[in-house]
Amino acid sequence: MRMRFLLLAALLATPALSAPVETGEPNNPTYKPAFAGQHRAEEVHTRTALAVTEVATGLHFPWAIAFLPDGRMLVTEKNPASLRIVTAAGKVSAPVAGIPKVNANGQSGLLGLAISPKFATDHLVYWTYSEPRPTGGNALALARATLVDGPAPRLDGVRVIFRNEPALESNLHNGGRLVFAADGTLFLGLGERSILPGRVQAQDLRSDLGKIVHLNADGSPAEDNPFLGKANARPEIWSSGHRNILGIAFDARGKLWEVEMGPRGGDELNLVTRAKDYGWPTIGYGEEYSGKPVGKGITAAAGMEQPVYYWDPVIAPSSLMIHSGRMFAEWKGDFFIGGLASGALVRLIVKNDRVTGEERLFADRGDRIRDAVEGPDGAIWVVTDDDNGKLLRVSAKR
């Protein structure tokens, strides 16, 4: 009797697992996770009361936000391609002069953005954009310039410091997110351009397509790159086998993470390791838009990395940030992913490099979220993907 009582007490003390956020039918129900927690983690709920403030409107398909030291923001607009300075009160500047010619068609345009870690002294701004190439096609370019502030802001000394090779006739899957590491080098995510001639190069080390590249601040290959000095490999490559990387961030330990869009199903969160192959298009958890399998329709193969987490149906991940815990103590270390198809800011709880909970914030607003970054005080700033794009501030309600 005592044993039965103890067993009953243990069962009552064990909290019941919540259902996952996503309960819809996956595109391919035959695909199964490689390990527990790789898919459809239990739903969690933020306890802190939240306030969402609409700070600015009228932005034209805003794509990226970067904070200046004085609390103002730089914001890229994808199409028409322009760079704006926005105050915390929502005042939007005229376009910053000096942006070179941009291919602003389809998914292409003015894209990723970062300021130099030494901005206080060098005033350098870095951005990515789809560059028309004189020999045909287009490809992502990384440029930098000095920001000259004032009533008529401009970029001086514009220089392209890295060009994605090869160029293709495609307006899709540019990638374009970039992040500085603690040592002042930078990592840049590159798409495989979607079309078959690009897709087949995602695992080819002779091509930049479908790669993460690791660069010095001047655009040259970083010294610790795994393929530096090796034949038949580009020296800037850090990792390969990616589809369309649209979020990239470091956690508090200095580990690099990325999110990338899958086709129908198979959006991924990956922990990025030097020299590893992340499998696209050989393996994945999605299918072609036609409903046919991608390649052989397999989810695992020797020598290829598994995603830490995947979504099916997709959320269409557009950005990635990892919260410091300022303003929101319960969010410390949590991952926040912009969702286009999901119309939500997707929160993931990550413990020991595994996802243990998922939450969809603000899905009731109906906004396609393009970027989300943490501001100086810990509030989250969001831009929405629309011709009348909004700048939103998410803070703790007082």
User: b/e map of 215-246 (b: 16 or more CB within 10 Å)?
Assistant: bbbebebbeebbbeeeeebbbbbbbbbbbbbb
The label of the residue with tokens 């890229």 reads: 76
Other C-beta atoms within 10 Å of 20: how many?
13
Helices (H) and strands (E) in the chain, counts: 3, 23
Find out whether 339 and 348 touch, Cβ atoms under 8 Å: no
Would you call 173 a catalytic residue per the annotation? yes
CB 228 within 8 A of CB 272: no
CA distances from 72 to 146, 149, 375 (A): 16, 12, 10
State the greatest distance between any 2 C-alpha atoms of the chain, in Å, as a whole number.
Answer: 84
Catalytic residue selected from 173, 214, 242, 323: 173
Taking the C-alpha atoms of residue 93 and residue 383, their distance in angstroms, rounded to an integer, is: 16
Beta-carbon count within 10 A of 355 CB: 20
* Main-chain dihedrals φ then ψ at residue 193, nearest 5 degrees: 70, 0
C-alpha distances in Å from residue 74, one per residue of 65, 234, 344: 6, 32, 23
Residue 54 to residue 59: CA distance in whole angstroms: 12
Select from 342, 376, 332 the least CA-distant residue to 362: 342
Tell me the catalytic residues: 173
